[in-house]
């Protein structure tokens, strides 16, 4: 066992000296490999963190949302719906919601106006999201004016700014009381935008949704799990787009690996011939080159993955965020919670390190089993 350990130590020492002799080539190879891993890992880490963040945010949303559809379009919920829904078996809590979109032509951004469920601001006052406050340069005590769709000008005083921790879901939010909302959007009394409801037994959400659709044919139940799946599909699609954009880098690496597999340089062949001539066995040569390829590939993989981790979770993935997060005038600023998937790392490792190792071993094996004189003559 000691002899085997000593032999491996000598192999590693020789491998390190061999890498040092060709340091320019190996540094270039490590940089190319690291950049490829960095790009791929940045995309996968960012999308994984966004999926986790979306799931965390949606966990606080209603189990079922009910919208009323007229001629295929979203319409107001008329009076009487809440009472009818409350009588359906399995429904635990029903609440009408008031919200709407407002386009600010001054800054060309969309805001979401919503009636606050808890602690609504006093009449004439609003609570704004951190993204809106940052974009418009306002704070508590400032005044904001909006012209309603009827042409009437409304002026509100900013009562407070929502905390930055909620920016993912509140960047463009404007909270106000019910009376101000109905006056601004000209909503008649008793009408609501949609209805949020909770179910007594979480296992019966789909059953309750079926009952709602049967009792109210003009309604459309939207389940929380369906919204989550939609977000997952969006992130998957954007991840695919980003990976497609990286296909040029992947192709370049494939060409590099193929070039490595197609043969060894004259210097490497002479080195193998000399090692064989002084008594190295075929297995020793293969193990030495295997150590060399593993040191290069694993070192480059760790370098690229760590750089991607820092890029995503400490610099908010500045290079890939516009592609994967989407685009908006009021762009939310939030910190992603680090999320690392072991299967994701293993998959990335397999599709980057393994092909390189195989590409290296094929020509090494061919040279190692050839007569030393023939190898050195080329």
Give the model confidence (pLDDT) of 117-167 as tens digits: 888 999 999 999 998 998 889 999 999 999 998 889 999 999 999 988 777
CB 177 within 8 A of CB 120: yes
Q: CA angle at residue 129 from 221 to 108, to 5 degrees? A: 90
Alpha helices in 246-341 (DSSP H): 247-262, 266-277, 282-313, 321-325
CA distance 126 to 320: 34
Provide the pLDDT for residue 192.
Answer: 96
CA distance 273 to 269: 6
**Type and span of the H or E element at 318:** none
Report the 10 Å Cβ neighbour count for 221.
Answer: 20
User: Which regions of the chain are under pLDDT 70?
Assistant: 1, 7-8, 10, 234-279, 282, 322-335, 362-378
Per the listing, tokens 């296909």 go with 247
**Type and span of the H or E element at 6:** helix 2-21
Sequence-ordered list of residues with C-beta below 8 angstroms from that of 370, at least 6 positions apart, any chain: none
Provide the pLDDT for residue 17.
Answer: 74
CB 261 within 8 A of CB 360: yes
Provide the pLDDT for residue 30.
Answer: 82
Domain ranges of the chain: 8-58+232-377, 64-223
CA distance 64 to 59: 12
Tokens found for residue 247: 């296909």
Sequence-ordered list of residues with C-beta below 8 angstroms from that of 315, at least 6 positions apart, any chain: none
Q: Tell me the DSSP string of 192-228.
A: BSEEEEEESSGGGHHHHHHHHHHH-TTEEEEEHHHHH
CA distance 185 to 99: 9
CATH number 2.40.40.20 is the correct assignment for the domain at 64-223: yes
Interhelix angle for 224-245 vs 23-58, to 10°? 160
Rounded to the nearest 5°, which phi and psi values hold at 113?
A: -90, 135
From residue 28, alpha-carbon distances to 210, 216, 289, 362 in Å are: 61, 66, 18, 21
Provide the pLDDT for residue 126.
Answer: 96
CB 230 within 8 A of CB 329: no
Q: Tell me the DSSP string of 319-340.
A: TTHHHHH---SS----PPPP--
Tokens found for residue 1: 């066992």
């Amino acid at each position: 066992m000691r002899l085997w350990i000593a032999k491996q130590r000598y192999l590693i020492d020789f491998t390190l000296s061999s890498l040092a002799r060709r340091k320019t080539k190996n540094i270039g190879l490590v940089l190319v490999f690291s950049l490829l891993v960095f790009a791929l890992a940045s995309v996968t880490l960012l999308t994984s963190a966004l999926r986790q963040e979306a799931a965390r945010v949606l966990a606080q949303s209603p189990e079922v949302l009910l919208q009323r559809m007229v001629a295929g379009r979203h319409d107001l919920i008329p009076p009487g719906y809440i009472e009818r829904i409350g009588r359906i078996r399995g429904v635990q809590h029903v609440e009408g919601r008031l919200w709407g979109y407002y386009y600010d032509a001054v800054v060309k951004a969309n805001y979401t106006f919503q009636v606050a469920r808890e602690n609504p601001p006093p009449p004439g006052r609003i609570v704004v999201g951190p993204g809106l406050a940052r974009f418009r340069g306002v704070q508590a005590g400032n005044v904001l004016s909006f012209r309603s769709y009827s042409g009437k000008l409304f002026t509100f005083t900013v009562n407070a700014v929502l905390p930055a921790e909620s920016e993912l879901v509140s960047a463009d939010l404007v909270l106000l009381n019910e009376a101000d909302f109905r006056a601004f959007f000209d909503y008649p009394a008793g009408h609501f935008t949609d209805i949020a409801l909770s179910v007594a037994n979480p296992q019966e959400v789909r059953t309750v949704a079926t009952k709602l659709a049967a009792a109210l044919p003009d309604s459309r139940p939207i389940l929380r799990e369906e919204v989550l799946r939609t977000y997952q599909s969006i992130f998957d699609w954007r991840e695919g787009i980003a990976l497609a954009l990286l296909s040029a880098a992947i192709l370049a690496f494939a060409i590099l690996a193929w070039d490595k597999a197609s043969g060894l340089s004259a210097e490497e062949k002479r080195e193998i011939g000399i090692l064989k001539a002084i008594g190295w066995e075929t297995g020793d040569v293969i193990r030495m080159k295997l150590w060399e390829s593993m040191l290069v590939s694993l070192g480059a993989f760790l370098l690229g993955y760590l750089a991607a981790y820092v890029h995503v979770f400490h610099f908010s993935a500045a290079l890939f965020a516009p592609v994967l997060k989407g685009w908006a005038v009021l762009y939310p600023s939030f910190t992603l919670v680090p999320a690392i998937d072991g299967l994701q790392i293993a998959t990335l490792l397999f599709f980057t390190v393994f092909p390189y190792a195989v590409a290296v071993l094929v020509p090494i094996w061919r040279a190692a089993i050839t007569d030393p004189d023939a190898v050195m003559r080329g």
